Chains A and B, each alone.
Chain A
Amino acid sequence: MLSPYGLDIVESCITCKMRAERIFCDLPTSALQAFEAIKYATAYPKGAVLFVEGQAPRGIFVLCKGRVKLSICATDGKTLILKIAEPGEVLGLSATVSGKPYELTAETIDPCQVNFVKREDFLRFLRDHAEACFKVAEQLSEKYNNACHEVRSLGLSHSAGEKLARLLLEWSSKNGEAAKQEPRLKLALTHEEIAQMIGTSRETVTRLFADLKKRQIVQAKGSTLVIRNKLALRSMATNS
């Protein structure tokens, strides 16, 4: 069966299998029916830009499938990747709600399905559906917590080594790997992109990885990284 970018587009929110697992999508049927009427289901290839920092807000982008890189730019062109958004996240939310320009640039790193809702339709939807308004508050709260976490990590960590160790520990605690003795993670980003996440240079990230491998703290198996020595990584992360 032919489908854009190899994606199986999910047309209906109501019958979507992921509905109950995602904060925003887990709405009563009546609200979801109203949402169906205002959303546009679209597919994007990898490397597509959904919106740019500073752009006037057109609306929200609900990420259904795939992942999106969210970044902030300085005036000199230096980029900081704030996070990688996962399916279920509503992008462009605070800008759409406040009417202020988009705070971040959103670029797909996989083929993605995105449900777009125009700003005025979305605001009307929130006014009419209290439960949706509540979910939006929940999502904004998560984003805020995440941003504060970044401020702490960027502003208070002493070294790039500390920040990289923190990032690897965070990534390795997903997908049920946290409890394992030797958790694994898939390296979805290049060294350049990892550098942009922790505010350092690509060369430093490459050097740090080489060092971690030499000390047998991590081991690379293709694009999968295995954490061999969690304890050592943890002490690196807290600079102790």
Chain B
Amino acid sequence: METATIQSCRDCAMRSDRLFCDLPADALAAFDNVKNAASVARGTFLFREGQAARGVFVLCQGRVRISVCSESGKRLTLRTAGPGEVMGLSAVLSGCPHEVSVETVDDCQVATVKRKELLLFLREHREACLQVVNLLSQDLHVAYERVRSVGLGRTRRSRLLSA
């Protein structure tokens, strides 16, 4: 089923519920100008680890899976992300290649912003920059949780098995 594409951020009904989207009117208007709304089919990779960061993807509708991969192709899921979250932020801001892969698990609506335009937008709109800082610190919190469970969880489990 095709859901209607949400074109304008200012008219979006979800605006106030979402961290990144809850911006003052002038910032949202500026964001509307730099973004491209797009539909992405389920099972598509928005980007893969190792790729250069070309821009970010704001999730408007649908969910994605964030994962890391070994050289041998084994995949480890970090978490599932939902509407209101921004994919690719850390790569765009640090200028480093993507550290994770992101794949849609539903049919999604996304708002894409190219790297240069996003950086300019953040420099010009302090509130958006603060939101990004909050988003990143949430991302980091989840990543540390994963480090804890992956790096320390195994030994706990193996101890239980051998007891």
By a beta-carbon cutoff of 8 Å, the part of chain A in contact with chain B is 72-76, 78, 80, 82, 93-94, 97-98, 100, 103-104, 126-127, 130-131, 133-134, 136-138, 140-145, 147-152, 154-157, 199, 238-240
Q: Is the CB of B133 within 8 A of A151?
A: no
Is the interface on chain B under 10, 10 to 19, 20 to 34, or 35 or more residues? Answer: 35 or more
Tell me whether chain B's interface is mostly helix, strand or loop, or mixed.
helix
Q: Is the CB of B133 within 8 A of A148?
A: no
Q: Of B93, B129, B144, B152, which contacts A74 at CB under 8 A?
A: B152
Q: Does B148 contact A (CB under 8 A)?
A: yes
Complex-state Cα separation, A180 to B14, whole angstroms? 54
Q: Is the CB of B152 within 8 A of A199?
A: yes
Q: Is the CB of A148 within 8 A of B96?
A: no
- A156/B90 contact (C-beta < 8 A), A72-B147, A145-B99 known: no
Contacts of A78 in B (CB 8 A): 152, 155-156
Q: Is the CB of B78 within 8 A of A137?
A: no
Complex-state Cα separation, A234 to B55, whole angstroms? 32
Q: Of B70, B89, B92, B143, which contacts A148 at CB under 8 A?
A: B143
Contacts of B74 in A (CB 8 A): 156
- B72–chain A nearest beta-carbon distance, Å: 7
By a beta-carbon cutoff of 8 Å, the part of chain B in contact with chain A is 68-72, 74, 76, 78, 89-94, 96, 99-100, 122-123, 126, 129-130, 132-134, 136-141, 143-144, 146-148, 150-156, 159
Q: Of B68, B129, B137, which contacts A98 at CB under 8 A?
A: B137
Q: Is the CB of B76 within 8 A of A238?
A: no
Complex-state Cα separation, A148 to B143, whole angstroms? 6
- A82/B69 contact (C-beta < 8 A), A74-B155, A134-B129, A144-B140 known: no
Complex-state Cα separation, A103 to B130, whole angstroms? 20
Contacts of A137 in B (CB 8 A): 89, 93, 122, 129, 132-133, 136
20 pairs, CB–CB < 8 Å, chain A vs chain B: A72-B144, A72-B147, A94-B136, A97-B133, A98-B141, A127-B130, A136-B133, A137-B122, A138-B93, A140-B137, A140-B140, A142-B90, A142-B96, A145-B99, A147-B146, A154-B147, A155-B68, A155-B151, A156-B74, A240-B71
- A126/B130 contact (C-beta < 8 A), A93-B137, A138-B93, A144-B143 known: yes
Complex-state Cα separation, A74 to B149, whole angstroms? 9
Q: Is the CB of B159 within 8 A of A156?
A: no
Q: Of B91, B144, B146, B155, which contacts A141 at CB under 8 A?
A: B91
Contacts of B78 in A (CB 8 A): 148, 151
Q: Is the CB of A127 within 8 A of B152?
A: no
Contacts of A149 in B (CB 8 A): 99
The residue of chain B having its C-beta at the shortest distance from the C-beta of A95 within the complex is B137
Contacts of A145 in B (CB 8 A): 90-91, 94, 96, 99
Q: Of A72, A74, A104, which contacts B156 at CB under 8 A?
A: A74
Q: Is the CB of B143 within 8 A of A147?
A: yes
Q: Is the CB of A140 within 8 A of B126?
A: no
Complex-state Cα separation, A94 to B94, whole angstroms? 16
Contacts of A131 in B (CB 8 A): 123
- A231–chain B nearest beta-carbon distance, Å: 16
Q: Is the CB of B69 within 8 A of A80?
A: no
Contacts of A126 in B (CB 8 A): 130, 133
- A133/B147 contact (C-beta < 8 A), A98-B138, A138-B94, A151-B78 known: no
